[in-house]
Amino acid sequence: MNRGNRVLLSCVYWAFVLYVFVPLLLMILMGFKDSKFIGFPIRSWTLEWYQGVFADTEVISTFGYSMAIAALSTLVSVLVGTWIAVLLEGRRFRGRTILFGLTILPALIPGIISAIAFRIYARGLGIEPGMGAIVWAHAVHNVPFVVLVVMARLSTLPKSQVEAARDLGADPLISFLRITLPYLIPSILGATVFCLLLSFDDFIRSYFLGGYEPTLPVLIFAKLRSGMSPEINAIATVALVLTAVIGIWAERFTRRQARESDA
């Protein structure tokens, strides 16, 4: 690839970054506006909204609650999704297409239908509205995404590797754990990120299946009825900073750990 193309490509990348960040910057900016509403022009500035977020223990605990739900539901959906992907990929058996279709199902249902269906189903199963119910609904909803991502990666694993391991005497479980799984790690990581995002951002399921403890999107949506205010922008900004910090810390941690295990 010649110089010109490379420059062009990097321009496209940074233009994309701009596209992705500008609304974000606007959101952060609006958190400083001294008014009950957001928008230009900003005539006067204030720190009260940001200060209010930290003083408001409700926001902090809501954030923690959302994160806990995201982590738990992601754990479940990645485990189940990977298992299903391994089953479906590269194998031909009767009913495979049906199983695949059923697996993808939760992703196709519009949010509000899914939420109400789960609420009623939960009652039938005796599950109380609250954290458990939300985690369950999120986990089920996210499985299709895990399956798609992992299957895509799995399809590129050369069968010869697994066969070689089996020829050398490894049983199916060990050859899975030592050959297939490491190969799948990048897609599993990607799927994990997807699921965390989907769960953290979800509003409709959290709303119908939650109890009196709101998740962050539910809290924001409820406050929204009084107008999109700088307060909401400040809350979202703080939530963003906290998740970014966690994300960067996790990335640093995995990098350090990878370096250490290589040593």
Partner 1 sequence: MVESDQRPFWGRLSGWGPYRSSMRLLSAGPRRQFLVLVTLPVLWVLTQHLGPMVQMASVSLTDAYPVAPGTETHWTFEHYLKFFTDRIFWMPFFRTLIFASVFTFVTLILTYPVAYYLARHVSPKNRMLLLLLLLIPFWVGEIVRTYAIMILLGNTGALNLLLQSIGLIERPIPFMYTSFSMGVGIVYLTALYMLLPLYSALEKLPRSLNEAGADLGAGAWTRFRRITLPLTLEGITSGCILVFLISTGFYATPVLLGGPSTTVFAQTIAGFFHVAGNEWPTGAAFATIMFLAALIVTGVFQKLMNGLRRGDVR
Partner 2 sequence: MSHFDSTRRRFLGTAAAGGTILVAPAYLRRAHAQGGGEVNIWTYNDFVPEDFKREFESDTGIKVNIRLVDDQGKQFNLLSAEQPEPTVDIMTVAGHRFLQFIDNELLAPLDTDRLKNWGRINPTFSESDWATINGHKWGAPILSGMEVLAYNTELVSAEEARSWDVLFSDKYEGRTAYIIQDMMSIVMLKMGYDGNMIAYLDDPEKAAAIVEEAKNFLIDRKHLVRKYYDGGAEFQQMMVNQDIALGHAWNGPAAALINDGFPLEITIPQEGSYGFVYTYNITRNAPNEDNAYRFLDAILAAPEIGAAMTRASGFISTYKDVDPLLSELERKSTSFSDEELAGLQFFRAEANDLKYGLVDPAVEAIKAA
Binding status of residue 223 toward partner 2 by CB under 8 A: yes
- The SS3 of residue 12 is helix
Cα distance between residue 103 and residue 84, in whole Å: 8
Binding status of residue 127 toward partner 1 by CB under 8 A: no
User: Could you say which of 193, 227, 244, 248 contacts partner 2 (CB under 8 A)?
Assistant: 227
Binding status of residue 60 toward partner 2 by CB under 8 A: yes
Helices and strands, counts by H and E, the chain: 12, 0
The torsion angles phi and psi of 89, rounded to 5 degrees, stand at -80, 135
Binding status of residue 3 toward partner 2 by CB under 8 A: no
Binding status of residue 178 toward partner 1 by CB under 8 A: yes
Cα distance between residue 153 and residue 53, in whole Å: 42
- The SS3 of residue 92 is coil
Cα distance between residue 187 and residue 152, in whole Å: 8
Binding status of residue 253 toward partner 2 by CB under 8 A: yes
Which span (49-57, 127-135, 245-253) binds partner 1, by CB under 8 A? 245-253
Give the nearest distance from C-beta 94 to partner 1 in angstroms.
Answer: 11
Locate 149 and state its tokens.
């991502």
Q: Cβ-count burial of 206 within 10 angstroms (0-12 exposed, 13-18 middle, 19+ buried)?
A: buried
Cβ neighbours for 28, distance < 8 A, ≥ 6 positions apart: 233, 237
Residue pair 191/150 in contact by the 8 Å Cβ criterion: yes
- The SS3 of residue 54 is helix
Binding status of residue 121 toward partner 1 by CB under 8 A: yes
User: Could you say which of 53, 59, 69, 84 contacts partner 1 (CB under 8 A)?
Assistant: 84
Footprint on residues 181-220 left by partner 1 (CB under 8 A) = 186-187, 190, 193-194, 197, 200-201, 203-204, 216-217, 220
Which span (16-24, 63-71, 100-108, 138-146) binds partner 2, by CB under 8 A? 63-71
Judged by CB, which is closer to partner 2: 154, or 239?
Answer: 239
Judged by CB, which is closer to partner 2: 139, or 204?
Answer: 204
Locate 183 and state its tokens.
């190969």
Give the nearest distance from C-beta 55 to partner 1 in angstroms.
Answer: 20
Cα distance between residue 69 and residue 213, in whole Å: 12
Binding status of residue 109 toward partner 2 by CB under 8 A: no
Interface positions with partner 2 (CB under 8 A): 35-40, 57-58, 60-61, 63-65, 67-68, 71, 116, 119-120, 123, 129, 207-208, 211-214, 218-219, 221-228, 253, 257, 260-261
